[in-house]
Amino acid sequence: MQRQCEAHVIASPLSAEIQSFNSLIPSTLPPRLVAVFVGATNGIGESTLTAFAQYAKQSRAYFVGRSQDAADRIIAECKALNLEGEYIFIQADIRLIRVVDNVCEQIKSKKGERTEHVETCEKIHALPALIYYSRGTREGLLDSTDFPAFGLPLKELRGHLASPVTLGLEAIARMTPDVSFIHGHLGLVDTPIFRHMHGQPGKQSPFEVSVVPIEESGERHLYLATSSRFPARQGNSASVPLPDGTDMSISTTGTIGGGVYSVGSDCETGSPDVKKLLAELRDKGMIEEVWNHTEEEFKRICGSQ
């Protein structure tokens, strides 16, 4: 029997602060920003896309999803928010690894224009495929003998699935030090995935959860993407300046401005315990193991290319 939960929507005091910050985007960032949103035809991806459309001048957004009907609706909503923006839908099931290269090629080709245990068909566990960018500050012990998490009990899943995401981002950051990477968990949101995992909110339930309004979640994610609090390890990318009294965030390696950040629902980076755990995994060579596993899966699915 599927569990049911009682969901309470709570707008936090953080909301006004984030909105105030995002309101600076039009005046502090250059026009014609380009962004890519993956899985953006509903839920958090959609709300982040619409927040981007609202604040970014003459922007161009590529968004990837499965539903053309949803995309048509979202494009109309974004045009209503920002008529000067351009919103380009790419229809694809991004859970399939072999689709990713094709999506990237489509985006590159348009760049110069101004216009439960379920497997995917690639034998990838669908849960980690979907959870890939959603559990910052929830890192836990990592079982290197079962990266896909087919055999782990439910209580161990969250930490096991969160840690390789953060470590994988650290591996990529070593190769691209001029890019900032954020593994964020900015609060539960009432989305189709949430309802599938927990049941329909509002029904009688043995447990209760608090969820963030979907619009606020989008504002929070836009803040992470544009704030100077989370810079790349090298370079000087355009970002909204920090207000007086606000410092750059501490990265997953414990350094200020280190390029990879694990961020929780308060938009702050992980606790000292999380950083200690990540340091222990790093010392055990888990970054290399995670990346080797990732490359092996890519080769298995896509070939040696």
Q: Kindly report which listed range (128-137, 255-264, 283-292) carries the lowest average pLDDT score.
A: 128-137
First-to-last C-alpha distance (Å) of the chain: 44
Any residues with CB less than 8 A from the CB of 156 and at least 6 apart, and which? 140, 141, 143
| CATH code at 30-126 | 3.40.50.720
Average pLDDT for 191-195: 58
Quick one: pLDDT band at residue 111, thresholds 50, 70, 90? low
> Is a pLDDT exceeding 90 seen at residue 194?
no
If you count them, how many residues does the chain have?
305
Give dist(CA 15, CA 19) in Å, integer.
6
Q: Kindly report which listed range (41-45, 55-59, 93-97, 204-208) carries the lowest average pLDDT score.
A: 204-208
Residue with tokens 């399939």: 96
> Is a pLDDT exceeding 70 seen at residue 221?
yes
pTM of the entire predicted model: 0.79
pLDDT tens-digit profile of 26-40? Answer: 999 999 999 999 888
Give dist(CA 105, CA 102) in Å, integer.
5
Higher pLDDT, 54 or 299: 54
Domain with CATH 3.40.50.720 in the chain: 30-126
